[in-house]
Structure 1
Amino acid sequence: MSLPFLRAQLRDPAFRQGAGDMAGTCLGIGAWGLVTGVAMAKSGMSLPMALFMSLAVYAGSAQLAVLPLMVAGAPLWVVWLTAACVNLRFVIFSSMWRSYFAHLPRRHRLALGYFSGDVIFVSFMKRFPKPVPAPEQVPYFWGAASANWLAWQVPSIAGIVLANAIPLSWGLGFAGVLALLGILLSMLNDRATWLATAVACTAAVATFALPLKLNILVAIAAAVTAGLAAEAAERALRRARTRAVGGDT
């Protein structure tokens, strides 16, 4: 992306609108980022590696999921599989964003993929519910993505650098849980999501005794299966209703 393009995005009103829509979630994202940064530093990871992981991976749930595995010396395939499963939702996000961004150059789409996030997806879909490309969608995304990236990276890097100066008595782990709950509740906007969340919680608790935190993988697989099944059932029900209405007329 060229410098003139970036300047044009910054001047676009939709960019400011996207950043403004993300403002309400920045506090929770920042708390989560701080917890993740401290966790990486206290896991024994070197400072350069922790900074690299924060900037390159940029996926809080995946980072927190693989850290205990790395500390426990889990096989590399388990670490990679866990991270991939935790981020499976981005495959669904990307398939839905295709209707909006498929016309963009590949480099631009790759950049969109790196900067995408859960809360950005929710905010974007609320603002643009119809899957039809529009000029304001790209600057809106970049406004939301910029706010989200800064809200995550600044506290995360601060947590990495200042981990030894932050006492455990601050209860950052509990603060991080509260931040995650706040973000999660903002995403529960339909029955399929509620069902997937309930299934994930049940599966995670039921398989808690599994080694190497494999209960996380079980919970993710169960949640994805339940969510996809619920969405398929809802689509089938809508088609049946449409056919019924058509038959009545």
Structure 2
Amino acid sequence: MEKHALSQPGAAPNASLPDSRWRDIRAGVLDMFPFCLAVLPWGILAGSMAVQAGLPLWQSIGLSALVFAGAAQLVTLGLVMSGANVVTILITVFFITTQHIIYALTLRDYVSRLALRYRLPIGFLLTDELFALSGGKSAQQPRSVSYLIAAGGFFYVCWVIFSLAGIVMATRIPDLARYHLDFSIIATFITIVVPMVRSISTLLGVVLSLALSMVLALFHVEGAVVIAGLSGMFFSALLSRRREDVL
């Protein structure tokens, strides 16, 4: 990909900068578009659940606009409706969103060299979907700043619009839950996780997490997703380490 001043801090401006920037912006929007379609039911569900949880209009919109984390929003709203206390909500949301720490560390060497006016929006917009497109698996050649901000910004606008649609629909269509919009969560994460499974240890960790989450959910264990996810990660790391020791 052609680099420009935004993607290489301190680089001298050149005549091709505008064309290069617009090319990256278009590429970011187009690459993110399929993820936006996949997350449409998810956004509608998040907006409708905010209304079902008893939040007023401005809080429902603000939850999507400020938090901007689908899994965290849905889990928080579910826990609020179930009567969970604040400590339980905070701990659960923390573990659910810990993958963002990994995303940030992966892109740190690249993003840390950027100006603050670029680091802040990239940090805010860094979702699972943006990381999947960021080139984070090969941090030596990450996407340009224009690409990252355009892709993340487009996804953010779509998410807020979809959530607003869910808020409106919740007041007009009774019992949205019966349409099983939450399936979009599974579909979205499948498209993100599958391309990242590049080793046997990772595959076995994913399989363990999936199986354990279903078993724990069957027995109504609180925090089943968190327990299953952490177990899968530790299992995958253990297998990877043992493999390195053998080699």
Q: Which category describes the TM-score, using the shorter chain as reference length?
A: 0.7 to 0.9
> Quick one: which of 38, 41, 47 aligns to 2:48?
38
CA distance in 2, matches of 1:100, 1:26: 26
In 2, are the aligned partners of 1:196 and 1:223 still within 8 Å (CA)? yes
Structure 2 residue 147 is matched with structure 1 residue 140: yes
Kindly, what percent of the aligned residue pairs are identical?
Answer: 22
Q: Per residue, is there more helix in 1 or in 2? A: 1
> Could you tell me how far 1:139 is from its partner in structure 2?
0.7
Q: Could you tell me which residue of structure 1 aligns to residue 205 of structure 2? A: 196
Displacement after TM superposition at 1:233 (Å): 5.3
Determine the structure 2 residue equivalent to 1:27. Answer: 37
Deviates more, 1:149-158 or 1:194-203: 194-203
Residue 65 in 1 paired to residue 42 in 2? no
Across the two proteins, how many residue pairs are aligned to each other? 226
In 1: Cα distance, 2:117 partner to 2:233 partner: 29
User: How far apart, CA to CA, are the structure 2 residues paired with 1:72 and 1:30?
Assistant: 25
Written as runs of structure 1 = structure 2, the 5 A alignment for 1:1-249 is: 12-125=22-135, 130-132=138-140, 137-168=144-175, 171-172=178-179, 174-177=180-183, 179-187=184-192, 188-189=194-195, 190=197, 191=199, 192-208=201-217, 209-210=219-220, 213-230=222-239, 232=241, 236=244, 240=247
Calculate the TM-score normalised by the size of structure 1. Answer: 0.79
CA–CA separation in structure 1 for the residues paired with 2:233 and 2:154: 28
Q: Deviations over 1:114-137 (max 9, x none)?
A: 111112111222xx7542367x61
| Shift >4 Å, 4+ stretches | 8-11, 230-234
How far apart are the structure 1 equivalents of 2:225 and 2:212? 8
Query: Could you tell me how far apart the structure 2 residues matched to 1:107 and 1:90 are?
Result: 20
Q: Distance in 1 between matches of 2:151 and 2:25?
A: 7
Task: Say what the alpha-carbon RMSD is for the aligned residues.
Answer: 2.7
SS of equivalent residue, structure 1 residue 25: helix
Deviation at 1:226, TM superposition (A): 3.1
CA contact (8 A) 1:9 1:139 kept: no
CA distance in 2, matches of 1:49, 1:78: 21
Instruction: Between the two structures, name the one with larger relative contact order (CA 8 Å, sep ≥ 6).
Output: 1
The question of whether the paired residues in 2 share the 8 Å contact of 1:29 and 1:148 is answered with no
Between 1:82-91 and 1:187-196, the stretch displaced more is 187-196
SS of residue matched to 1:120: helix
**Following the alignment from structure 1 to structure 2, what is the Cα–Cα distance between the partners of residues 185 and 73?**
30
**What CA distance in whole angstroms lies between the structure 1 residues aligned with 2:21 and 2:185?**
32
- How high is the TM-score relative to the length of structure 2? 0.80
Unaligned runs of 5+ in 1: 241-249
TM-superposed CA distance for 1:68, in Å, is 2.0
